[in-house]
Structure 1
Amino acid sequence: MKIAVVGGTGLCDWPDMQWLGKQGVQTRFGEPSAELHTGMLNGVEFVFLPRHGGAHSIAPHRINYRANIAALQQVGVTHILAVNAVGGLTEALGPGAMAVPAQIVDYSWGRECSFADGEAGPLDHVDFSEPYSAPLRQQLLASAAALGYWCFDGGVYACTQGPRLETAAEIRRLQADGCHLVGMTAMPEAVLARELGIDYASLCLVVNWGAGMTREPITMDEIGRVLSSGMSRVCHLLGHTIGSLAQTSAPVT
């Protein structure tokens, strides 16, 4: 087992993290968003990839998702823990809440979304009925429980195009479609991992209400404040999950 975390640049500030180095990787789809960071937490090594680049400068619709996932496969990654900052669409999922979604509705468009399209690789139709790895989801939820963190189990992630936020009418549509969370980066990241046989699950941090759900406008300052206050819980939960996964994959002597 080799674990990777894919997320925002704020994760580089993990408490108690020992960064061991960086590795540039070239794929047949180009370069990934950034060099792959190797970190060690509680004696467990893992790979970290900032999907928006080291300076958080790559918009969601311009991320080279195929290069990112291909690079992780090339260095032997078998499990990906994705971190996503999202908007909340239900009363239970206000700013600061964490969730481990179970389903995805993809509203994005124009992104290179497959290794199996008959050009990048042989044409194939992967089963995507359950877009997230059930064992990996359960490990995230078990870690949250062990740490005493409330974490929403399940829900539907709506992946929009970005980089703009949604209109109030679009949010009402997503709610009518049965979505609980809205973000911009779950797809095609999740399906590319599925095509390469990499287990994939998402830990979402809700950073704002969906547009029109409150009278207050959505501001980047407020989103930044929620990110800053919630990222420590995200880091602790990921650290616990990485340690638990490493223990379950350790050989019995």
Structure 2
Amino acid sequence: MSAAVIGIIGGSGLYDIEGLTDQRWERIASPWGDASDELLFGTLEGVPVVFLPRHGRGHKLSPSHLNYRANIDVLKRAGVTDILSLSAVGSLKADLPPGHFVIVDQFIDRSFAREKSFFGTGCVAHVSMADPVCGRLGAALETAARRLDLPVTRGGTYLTMEGPQFSTRAESNLYRSWDCSVIGMTNMPEAKLAREAEICYATVAMVTDYDCWHEEHDAVTVDQVVKVLLGNADKARSLVRSVVPDLGGVRHRCSAGCDHALDFAIITPPAARDPEAVARLDAIAGRVLADRSGD
């Protein structure tokens, strides 16, 4: 058991967290390169919080150019036990209008230009992604959202596209035929890497507009989308302030297995592991690498 440290990854329009006390920005070094920005450390209702603006302050990084591995690695080094990912998305369903929040429970990963694992040559591992988000965090988010009377749906599939361009209409209709709920550009490989890092992870997908399948989509202006985006960011800040106290305190072992996902994942035996690869994994997999160094 340990004390919970809540990590917040802020998407488009969300570059800070209000209400934090004892705030400080700090850059954490990572063997995987530079993270999107410094981390904002603080406390909220006595609960330690670490915030990372996914695209950097000023929105300087596109989805394809984010260093997803460094982002998750620095959160792990900062002691984060649980990640709440806040993301702007387009809707693929008529009953998920702009301004709606979706606490997703599945992903389809259609990204292709990103590093998707901490493991590879020199140290190979395979983690389960059957249930890619933590149900405990999802339940807490739903409870907090309903407490605030936010428009929210629990459950749905997030289609991750590469971007930075938006979908063609044919693609949008294809994803609808797959029964996807929302479409975005950033939550994969973020969720996969969080699982490899043994950090519980959940996504709040914040709908800004309908994707281009909608017959009235072309009538939506950029100004309207930005207005919804900023409104969603305000709602997201309220959601964070509401849910973080519920997640604080002593943190028990995750019943879903998120925080011990590497127990049986590493396949490369100790004698065959590349020391340089192992050194890069000190934060991500140090727990199991240390435990099994004598295998």
Match of 1:113 in 2: 116
Structure 2 residue identity aligned to 1:109: F
Q: Deviations over 1:30-71 (max 9, x none)?
A: 110000011333333300001111120100011000000001
Cα pair 1:9 1:55 within 8 Å, conserved: no
Task: Pick from 64, 68, 83 the counterpart of residue 86 of structure 2.
Answer: 83
**Which structure 2 residue ranges, 5 or more long, are not aligned?**
253-295
Match of 2:150 in 1: 149
> 2 CA distance for matches of 1:67 and 1:12?
18
**TM-score, structure 1 normalization:** 0.92
The offset of 1:116, in angstroms, is 1.8
Q: How does 1:33-72 map to 2 (within 5 A)?
A: 33-72=36-75
The offset of 1:132, in angstroms, is 0.3
Match of 1:242 in 2: 244
Structure 2 residue identity aligned to 1:28: P
Q: Deviations over 1:72-108 (max 9, x none)?
A: 1111111000001000111111100001000000011
Structure 1 residue identity aligned to 2:117: S
> 1 CA distance for matches of 2:91 and 2:22?
32
Q: Secondary structure at the match of 2:79?
A: coil
Match of 2:100 in 1: 97
Match of 2:77 in 1: 74
Q: How many residues align?
A: 248
Q: Secondary structure at the match of 1:191?
A: helix
**Change in 2 beyond 3 A, CA 1:180/1:29:** same
Name the stretch that deviates more: 92-101 or 232-241: 232-241
Cα pair 1:19 1:37 within 8 Å, conserved: no
Cα pair 2:92 2:183 within 8 Å, conserved: yes
The offset of 1:221, in angstroms, is 2.2
Name the stretch that deviates more: 14-23 or 140-149: 14-23
**TM-score, structure 2 normalization:** 0.80
Q: Over alpha carbons, which structure has the higher Rg? A: 2
